[in-house]
A and B are shown apart, each in its own frame.
Chain A
Amino acid sequence: MTGSTSIVLAAILLGAGTFAFRFAGPALRTRVELPAGVERLLVVAAVVLLAALVGTASLLDGHHFAGIARATGVGVGGVLAWRKAPFVVVVMGAAATAAGLRLLGVP
């Protein structure tokens, strides 16, 4: 059993480090005026990161395949979003598909 003190220290380290990551951009951006091209590049970078999160979160659980139910659920959500369905329908559609498939015994 690890001591409470080391858990508290670790939690503080995680919190402080995460804040430093979040604060770096806003803190530095007020000091320099960025050219429009760089500004655009930063936005594209954020989109690429979010897309990669979507890809890994829908297909993988750690280092392994997350299962057919989740992947299909996100896929259905993606098709609904692409067909310009309302946001609520996209999210509920994804969740309901995954939940339904699991009810049917699909992993």
Chain B
Amino acid sequence: MRSIWRTLDEGLARDVALVCLADAIVGVSFGAITVSSGLPVWLPMVLSVAVFAGAAQFMFVGLVASGGNPIAAAVTGLLVNVRHVPFGFAVGDLLGKGWARRVAGSHLMVDETVAFALLQRDPERRRAVYWACGISLFVCWNLGVMIGAFGGSVVNDTDAFGMDAAFPAVLLALVLPSLRDTATRRASLVGVVIALATAPFLPAGLPVLLALLGLGAGLTGRREGKPVQAEPETAS
């Protein structure tokens, strides 16, 4: 485990720490909002340990607090979390061998850990930042939620601090270097357009999944553009 932290340079560690701090602040508000809406104090903590996915947790708690059927709320949250299936296929080889590592590593899979890992070129750094970011986020998120659940919160409205803009900006900064590749950029642009166009009509989670249709645009474009170079790449 110690080698994970050694592989990270200071700059990368600082970036991860910043995201952890932002996550902890939102965690405090999640804990406080859940308890103040009349739900039991253990619920935000159990959710944060067992689910560990902010968007789905907020959605679940919001629906249950407003009197919705809990099972329906869980299904809504699950739909938001389906995106982890393709994430798992993209980063699955980072988790290492052995059951324990794969189970623990899978549970630490969140948007930020995936984005931080994909940004790294070197496989060892990829693995290191995945684990470092995953473990630190898990600790900070759960600590924050616990503080919010027991202590209530001074930051009930994290939007006042612009936290709602900070999180998309985190992912944008991490994704931007990958968009230098033409096929990836084209697929992403089409994907974003599909997601935005369908979001007003579809339940949360589906629009983001539909964005994967953008892959078609990226790939057909590439095949038309460079038919000869595409061949040896797939063969290697």
Q: List A residues at the B interface (Cβ < 8 Å).
A: 2, 4, 6-15, 17-19, 21-30, 35-37, 40-60, 62-64, 66, 69-70, 72-74, 77-78, 81-82, 87-88, 90-100, 102
Interface majority SS on A: helix, strand, loop or mixed? helix
Pairwise interchain contact A49-B204, C-beta atoms closer than 8 A: no
A37 CA to B47 CA, complexed, in Å: 37
Interface of B: prevailing SS: helix
Is residue B173 within 8 Å, beta carbon to beta carbon, of the partner chain? Answer: yes
Segment 138-168 of B: residues with Cβ below 8 Å from A: 159-168
Please tell me if the beta carbons of A81 and B169 are within 8 angstroms of each other in the complex: yes
Provide the residues of chain B in CB contact with A25, threshold 8 Å: 85-92, 106
Asked whether B118 lies within 8 Å of A74 as measured between CB atoms, the reply is no
CA distance A70 to B91 in the complex (A): 30
Closest Cβ neighbor of B82 among chain A residues = A21
In the complex formed, the residue of B with least CB distance to A8 is B46
Residues of B within 8 Å of A102, CB to CB, are 159-160, 162
Q: How far is the CA of A37 from the CA of B215 in the complex (A)?
A: 13
The answer to whether B199 touches A56 (Cβ under 8 A) is yes
Contact status A60-B60, CB under 8 Å: no
B124 lies within 8 A of chain A by Cβ:
no
Cβ of B78 within 8 Å of any chain A Cβ, yes or no, is yes
Instruction: Give Cα A97 to B159, complex, Å.
Output: 11
User: With a CB–CB cut-off of 8 A, which chain A residues contact B226?
Assistant: none
Bound form: Cα–Cα A48–B208 in Å: 9
Count of A-B contacts judged by CB separation below 8 Å:
297
Question: Which residues of B166-224 are within 8 A (CB) of A?
Answer: 166-176, 178-179, 183-184, 187-189, 191-192, 194-196, 199-201, 204, 207-209, 211-212, 214-215, 218-219
Give the B interface residue count (CB, 8 A). Answer: 97
A37-B234, A51-B175, A77-B173 are contacts. A18–B84 as well, Cβ < 8 Å? yes
Whether B172 pairs with A56 at a CB distance below 8 angstroms is: no
Which of B43, B86, B90 has a CB less than 8 Å from the CB of A11?
Answer: B43
- B64–A2 CB distance below 8 A: yes
The smallest C-beta distance from A33 to any residue of chain B, in angstroms, reads 10
**A10 — nearest CB in chain B belongs to which residue?**
B70
In the complex the two chains form, what is the Cα distance from A40 to B93 in whole Å?
Answer: 13
* A91–B233 CB distance below 8 A: no
